[in-house]
Amino acid sequence: MDVLSDAVAAMRTGRPHSGLRHKYGPWGTRFQATDGAGFHVVLRGSAWLLPAQGEPVALGPGDVVFLAHGRGHALASALDVPLEDVALGADGRWPDPPPPPPEAPEPDTLMLCGAYLLDRSRAHPLLTELPEVVHLPARVGVHGSLRAAVELLGQELAQCRPGSDTIITSLLDTLLLYILRAWWEREPRDAGQRGGWAAALSDPAVSAALHALHADPARPWTVEELGARGGLSRAAFARRFTALVGTPPLAYLTWWRMTTAGRLLRAEDLPLRQVAQRAGYTSEFAFAKAFKREYGVAPGQYRKQPGAHRSQAS
């Protein structure tokens, strides 16, 4: 398992939604704060993104913006137009667009928009440290996979065909990973100039340890063993990992084990013994004690809470 995929899977809930939006004449749309995240792609025309924090961002054809923190934002044809509030449904679904005006057969702006439901109670730091707006301007020959996913999604939304529901959901999940990958690959990677997960994922020793932890969280890892993965001594590795990730190696391992256990309890009907084993515990009692210390409730109570058994396809 790779760290980026795991980080997204740990937070994703429910089913993502998207739609094509045709904009005519002066227009402005304001989105309230939500628990989810959203993206917008300008397919034709132009728009202004007005984030909750920061300066307006001019968007042109092919530009992609991702808003990870759900703080609310607006889109408009110009900076001085009135904004109309639009609320997503409880499941993140977009409201049906109004019919186009008869005098405007071709829209001035065509946008592809989407929303993801997220569980922020166990937000992975890889995503929480993203900026308010991830802006990926259109550039020839750059982010080819992302552009291909956008084109495929637009085609499926424009014409409903057999299998479209499943294809659209899969493409939305794929698009999210392409957006995040494009951002992380674009960021500076000099660990001496930039800390955090951008540097952690590019640091050979820390990245090797993270991938090992995510691939087999149940293994009884030691700091020395993890450091050896990257050719570092125990002390040197512990210092580097803590500086870049923000927490010591075994503390991160414990956090990830508990995050994995919580996801298993909510998404699957596995016996508690199997959940404990996947989280690295041979004793159900020790696991239950650690889980309650982390979540404040016993595993069985957590599983019964509202929202349990929420799969990504629900």
- List domains and CATH numbers for the chain: 3-186 (2.60.120.280), 196-246 (no CATH), 251-304 (1.10.10.60)
| R_g of the chain computed on alpha carbons | 22
Residue 42 to residue 21: CA distance in whole angstroms = 10
Cβ-based neighbours of 173, under 8 Å, separated by 6 or more: 12, 16, 312
pLDDT at 189: 46
Task: Quote the Cα angle for 127-245-126, to 5°.
Answer: 10
Task: Provide the greatest CA pair distance for the chain.
Answer: 71
**DSSP at 191:** T
Q: Kindly give the parts of the chain with pLDDT less than 50.
A: 189-193, 309-314
Q: How far is CA 254 from CA 146, 170, 218, 231, 233, in A?
A: 34, 31, 10, 23, 21
Residue 29 to residue 74: CA distance in whole angstroms = 5
Residue 65 to residue 80: CA distance in whole angstroms = 21
pLDDT at 304: 83
Q: What is the DSSP string of 117-157?
A: EE-GGG--HHHHTS-S-EEE---TTSSHHHHHHHHHHHHHH
Residue 180 to residue 68: CA distance in whole angstroms = 10
